[in-house]
Amino acid sequence: MPPSLQIVRVPILPFGMINCHLIIGPLGCILVDTGLPGTEARIGKVLKRHGLAFGAIKLIVITHAHVDHAGNAARLRALSGAPILAHAADLRHYTQEDAMTFCATGWFCRLFLKTGLILQPYAPFVPDILLTGDEQRGLAPFGIDGVVLPTPGHTAGSISIRLASKAAMVGDLIASGIFLGGLVRTGHAKRPPFEDDPAATAAALQQLLDAGAEHFYMGHGGPLPAAEVLSHARKLRALT
């Protein structure tokens, strides 16, 4: 990774259970996901540690519409003045017009769904930049050498960032560890708590691998190397 570019994990919950990320470049930074409602102080703390304030955020990328990724988007946009980029396929969830559906991937996920935590509403918002279909968007205007691209599977509107440094920010296309990605086995890939379409997820991960991604950063656990992601994609394909 070029010395002028840093990927910094922002722990919204301890032990990598819920992560946001900052991509810090020479012209400012991009915030990837915004965490749960009311957690902006945790992002502010990490910014301050790197000598930055909320105004250094030039773009907010929301990988999908679940509350632990999009729940604080409206607040972070107000604090930073940065535009929000997301995909139109999740738009009616961002505006809170449609409730999300959740396809649990295991017994723990079914129990977690019953707690209602993932179902909590958040301040609705309309993204400033909406990708549609297979549209991609370069990040050069924001000082970062990379591209945002649609990677459906976790949700219909899931998107990822592929950087020239061979890193990929993939939201919840993949997870690692136990209990939402924390504690142990953080280097071992697994399915996230919820996943709409395993075959589409496998295809999205393979697309990133074929494009040369070597390091995968995610919302729960991680990061993971390409070999572990490839093994996981093959297992997903075997489910269908």
Angle subtended by helix axes 40-49 and 73-80, to nearest 10: 40
CB 152 within 8 A of CB 65: no
Residue 160, beta-bridge partner list? 149
Following DSSP, what letter does each residue of the chain receive, concatenated?
Answer: --TT-EEEEEEEEGGGTEEEEEEEETTEEEEE---STT-HHHHHHHHHHTT--GGGEEEEE----SHHHHTTHHHHHHHH-PPEEEEGGGHHHHTTSSPPP--B-SHHHHHHHHHTGGG--------SEEE-TT--EE-GGGT-SEEEEE-TTSSTT-EEEEETTSEEE-TTS-EESBTTTBSS-TTSEE--SB-S-HHHHHHHHHHHHHTT--EEE-SSS--EEHHHHHHHHHHHHHH-
Chain segment 116-161, per-residue pLDDT in tens: 667 788 999 999 999 999 999 999 999 999 999 999 999 999 999 9
pLDDT tens for each residue of 22-73:
999 988 899 999 999 999 999 999 999 999 999 999 999 999 999 999 999 9
How far apart CA 113 and CA 98 sit, in angstroms, is: 18
Which of 74, 55, 78, 73 lies closest to 63 in space, CA to CA? 73
Could you tell me the sign of the dihedral formed by the alpha carbons of 56, 61, 63, 69, in that order?
Answer: positive
Global pTM exceeds 0.75: yes
Where exactly are the structural domains of the chain? Answer: 6-239
Tell me which architecture the domain covering 6-239 has in CATH: 4-Layer Sandwich (3.60)
Where residue 167 falls among pLDDT bands split at 50, 70, 90?
A: very high
Q: Residue 167 is encoded by which pair of tokens?
A: 């890193």
- Return the residue matching tokens 């991937």: 105
pLDDT at 78 over 60: yes
pLDDT tens by residue, 168-227:
999 999 999 876 666 666 778 988 887 889 999 999 999 999 999 999 999 999 899 999
